[in-house]
Structure 1
Amino acid sequence: MGVVTVHRQPGLSVRLKLTLSYAGFLLLAGVFLLVAVGVFLLRQGWLQTNESGAVRVTPGTLFVRGFASTAAAVMVFLLVFGLLGGWILAGRMLAPLDRIAHATRTATAGSLSHRIELPGRRDEFRELADAFDMMLAQLEAHVAEQQRFAANASHELRTPLAISKALIDVARADPHHDTGELVDRLHTVNTRAIDLTEALLLLSRAKQRSFTREHVDLSLVAEEAAETLHPLAEKHGVTIETRGDITPALGSPALLLQLTTNLVHNAIVHNLPEQGTVRVHTGVRPRSAVLTVENTGERLTPQLVATLTEPFRRGTERIHTDQAGVGLGLAIVKTITEAHDGTLTLTPRPAGGLRITVELPTASGG
């Protein structure tokens, strides 16, 4: 999509318009003042009109004979004073806009680190500058996140492709190599690449919010996810416990099922070596539907927990070699939660393991 350029005819600057407006207002006020003075003099009898409508000065008020010339001088003074004063005042008033325009041009050139930081007490210009600074900060953080994500995604996708190339090179160099073993390894690597690609597509879809919101019962979603992952839990010696009443929420059934499945899968594979437990609970709060998944496991620090929703974040001490995943499980959970206008909370359990709580808008008001 190209840059849209708006072509406009040249016109007066805002500063000049304000100057002319100020001077014109001052001149108009002077005219009204002079008219008021003339009416006052007429009513006091200092000025009189004859039958033809001409104004004459009464005897005893000769000092008003210079009224017309004085009034003209005053009008000229007001006009000059209005133009000069208006130009100076308009320049001072519009100075913040120059800084805002400079920051805009700087951001357009690609620098998002520049800030206006307009000093002074709050007014309309400073509110605009603060809002612009906040927008720049959010854009800078978003761009940095996208750059990190793209770099990580490229690295993760390059790994299986490099492994596949190495396996193929070995097979070409050694025609007598066991093709069955080669096919199995290529299948494993290819499956990982497909899973990563699908996860990236799901992440993109959730960020774009390209889904229709429907009424969803989180308790049924939790039961389906637990049933689907029951064989994996048995393989790891983990017990899944589910409980909860009907929990109505608004969202995409497919995405919320993916969210719950990711949470339960993460709780299973990052658990105790044996006799671990995963607890899945759903409930309703005054304005939200709540899904909670907690598991037993090693003790986690708050610093580590704070990084677990970052894309491709996989703490080495928490990875099982057979279920390392693609590093997007909790990142997808976070993105789906935000796409549903919900909140995600990760809390380390004192005894070890993790408690993850997802709050979503309730469907009771829909």
Structure 2
Amino acid sequence: MKSSLTRRLTRTLFFLIAATTATSMFIVEVFVYDVEDTILDLELKAEAEYFTEQLREGRFQPIKTAQLEAVFLPEGEAETLLPEYFRNRRLPFSQEVETGHTTLLIVGERLEAPDGKLFLAQDITIMENREALVQLALVSVAGFMLLVGFIVARTGARYLVRPFNKLTREVLNTAPGTSMPQITTDYRDQEFCDIAKAFNRFLSELEHHVEREKSFVKLASHELRTPLAVMSGALNVLEQRQNLTAADQKTLARIRRAMQTMRDDTEVLLELARREASEGDARIIVLKEVLQNTIDDLEHGHPDHAGRISVDNNNPELRVKTHPALVRMLLRNLLQNALRHTHAGVKVRVIENRISVRDFGSGLPRAITEHLSAFQEPSAITSQQSKFNNTTFGLLIVRLVCERLGWDLEIAQSDNEGTEFLIHVHNLV
């Protein structure tokens, strides 16, 4: 499932806020450490200078208070006289040392007048404890900022996407037809206004295109029916003369049958083009009879097809309430497609409520199988008009007819061993 734009914006804004918060906390932490080290270093250096001056004037006395300790070790005396945390230090020395639960900042210097070692230790335990509280406060502030950042990111993302969602709903609610309402263009942002105006222009062009198609269908309906009516009348005249031989009458019957098939196919194609329902023409048919008539027509029209189609029917009494011409067109296109793709036989099976048509050719191109199996308009079988060959056009009609009948089209197999189409029949009687 694809992620929504709102979630993407929320994640992006929250990431930016989180990165800014983390950077700010890091800078504050570094600044606090730097200020602490600078203050302690400057304080102890000032104290060291003060005690050095006292030593030169002979007024120095060892000092140990609650926070500060100062000790001078004359040259030559043993370091055992010093507290343990002053011993064995390389001078000059400045470092933070922990002794038990106490944290000391120790500074040691070597003096020449008088000769010896001066050590200072400042108890910074209170400051260290305070620093822990400061860090806890920083973590709490960071957590609060992240919570606020998430709320701001979510609210901001919804606010930014609101006009886009509105535009999307208007586009999705626009149903194709001869009269499609224009979507609103009163958006605050110019980009959304431009998109809405462009879509409205597209709708206007689409309405004109649909209107032209309807006009064309009406004109084609008239132009196609007229010559068929003329041919039907001519056939009637020939029959009324009653001077035809038996062979001529047989040929005339074939012509009339082909003309009737052409008339039915014309009506079906016009109905498919108009996308109109044909409930009034639906009637109960025996699928076995329609299938056999379709096979007979193919064999009569193409003698080389004779005997190539085998039928295995385990449900010979299968009855369906549907449009006979549509079913005949569906079966004829499937069988013609199968016969084109192989020089061997074509196997037709009727299994319960399914019709299987299988050839033993090299299989369909992958692009055609993907488009036929996709949940989209059948016209997506090809996006380039130049690629509309006879096979593709026949399968397009198959898909269109299945959609009109409410039947399901499935490609059960398509590889180098052949292709098998499965038609799931509905509206059983």
Tell me the TM-score normalised to structure 1 length.
0.40
| Max Rg structure | 2
Q: Which has the higher contact order (CA 8 A, sep 6+)?
A: 1
TM-score computed with the length of structure 2 as normaliser: 0.35
